[in-house]
Amino acid sequence: MNLLVLGSGGRESALAWKLSRSPLAEHLYCMPGNPGTASFATNVNCSLSDFESIAQHISNLSVDMLVVGPENPLVEGITDFLHERMPSLMVIGPGRDGARLEGSKDFAKAFMTRYSIPTAAYRTFESSQLEDANAFMEQLKPPFVLKADGLAAGKGVIISDSIEEARQELASMFEGRFGDAGSKVVIEEYLSGIELSVFVLTDSKDYLMLPNAKDYKRIGEGDTGPNTGGMGSVSPVPFADDLFMSKVEERIVKPTVHGIAAEGMDYCGFIFIGLMNCAGDPYVIEYNVRMGDPECESVVRRIDSDLLEHLQAAAKGTLSSEKIVVSPKSSVTVMAVSGGYPGSYGKGFPISGLDTDSGEDDIVLFHAGTAVSGAEVVTSGGRVLAVTSLADSLNEARIASYRRLSVISFEGIFYRNDIGSDLLDF
Ligand code: AMP
Ligand code: GLY
């Protein structure tokens, strides 16, 4: 089978790496990919918003399956576009209607309400309803949670401790701070607990539970400072025991897949459910219609069965007969980022230590924001490299990832030293 993975980050590197190990994979292409994926796949340069050119490449390269990494092309309707053009192409990623679970927070909340899926109480307001929205906030207890309805590059959620600040934030959202994405705002109850990410592969009838993971979103150690795309991840999450995961499956995963089927969504792909564990009960914070980054890097390392076989079954609607084999080991991913990230940062810094043989097979280095300049690999983004280790225990995996990172350097390199350390005592 010929495969094309769309995207260029750590998530797509990890997906492509895992798929490259399948006996079913013949030619593997990454679009646009990065210098890391070039070592096991063929990179094809093309803009991810140019669906016409993507279709042309798919046809020229005789691609059988497309795996869409990021959410934007899905929300913009790439799956519908390609299904119309090439009905036999297998596409992993939902159509535009299913992608609204991520593309519109208001749609996702209403969907959860329709299927009695536990989530924070909420109301949605449009800019003409500023006064009603402020009155609604008066009834809530702080902190106040405001969410721009549309995609806002991961920045559309504001949590404020004071009502005055929340009012200002709301006004600025309605005034266009996030463009059209903020023309509607979801205001919801604050949930306190510990977060985790749950991943499901569905063909819109059946589903397969993938390994769960925890993401570390803040830039600073001890979860301080601004939010980032994710500074590291671990899998499995020690507090997500069998009892908790059975609640997740019964109360959230089953009704979500049922809702997808009941609404006739064209949904073959991943569902990433961001959850809060509130005193042992799971609540949905958000849906994403793709894998998480850097959760995916840790998750794929723990899938011992053939992911490509599972994706093929999802595309053919035969997921009910698939069995996933998950490693009992732990994986830890640490992201090396460029100094200044998530604010402004420099680019083009040469990276050393990429080829150093660590002598340990269980460490994989996934490229994220890298590029080739002359004979060198240089930084080209905020999140530069994801180092993932698989070991018998969480602590051993942590140690291995940090040992590998210690021999990598580029100007301004930064990484959190505490990924997974909060989970060592669970
Ligand atoms: P998102 O950009 O949707 O991933 O949200 C960013 C972060 O805001 C989440 O990872 C949570 O930490 C936090 N968050 C979102 N909604 C809530 C909520 N209702 N209660 C508490 N924290 C929340
Ligand atoms: N790591 C969070 C995300 O991918 O949205």
Residue 52's domain is classified under what CATH number? Answer: 3.40.50.20
Please tell me the residue having the least CA distance from ligand 1 atom 15: 285
Split at pLDDT 50, 70, 90, the class of 178 is confident
Residue 200 domain-assigned (yes or no)? no
Q: What is the pLDDT of residue 357?
A: 63
pLDDT, position 176? 82
**pLDDT score recorded for residue 130:** 85
Q: Residue 309 class from Cβ within 10 Å (0-12 exposed, 13-18 middle, 19+ buried)?
A: middle
pLDDT for residue 7: 98
The predicted-structure confidence for 341-394, as pLDDT tens digits, reads as follows 999 999 999 999 998 665 567 999 999 999 999 999 999 999 999 999 999 999
**The pLDDT of residue 223:** 94
End-to-end CA distance of the chain: 42
In angstroms, the CA 157 to CA 238 distance is 27
132 alpha carbon – ligand 2 mean position (Å)? 32
Specify the pLDDT at position 182.
80
Count, residues in the chain: 426
d(CA 17, CA 37): 7
The range of the structural domain enclosing residue 68 comes to: 2-93
For ligand 2, atom 2: residue with the closest CA: 292
Q: Is residue 16 part of a domain?
A: yes
How many Å apart are CA 338 and CA 412, to the nearest integer?
Answer: 6
- Distance in Å, CA 282 to ligand 1 centroid: 14
Which residue, by CA, sits nearest to atom 5 of ligand 2?
Answer: 292
Q: How many domains does the chain have?
A: 2
Asked if residue 175 belongs to a domain, the reply is yes
The alpha carbon torsion through 75, 77, 78, 81 (nearest 10 deg) reads: 180
Span 24-47, average pLDDT: 97
Same domain (yes/no): 9, 89: yes
CATH number at residue 155: 3.30.1490.20
Q: Give the residue, 260 or 158, on which the prediction is more confident.
A: 260
Residue whose CA is closest, atom 6 of ligand 1?
157
pTM of the model: 0.95
- pLDDT value, residue 153: 80
Q: Which residue has the tokens 């869409």?
A: 68
**Which pLDDT score is estimated for 156?**
87
- The per-residue pLDDT for range 213-259, each reduced to its tens digit, is 999 999 999 999 998 999 999 999 999 999 999 999 999 999 999 99
Domain presence at residue 402: no
Which of 109, 310, 107 shows the shortest CA–CA distance to 209? 310
The answer to whether residue 405 sits within a structural domain is no
Per-chain mean pLDDT for the chain: 95
Q: 297 in ligand 2 pocket by Cβ < 6 Å?
A: no
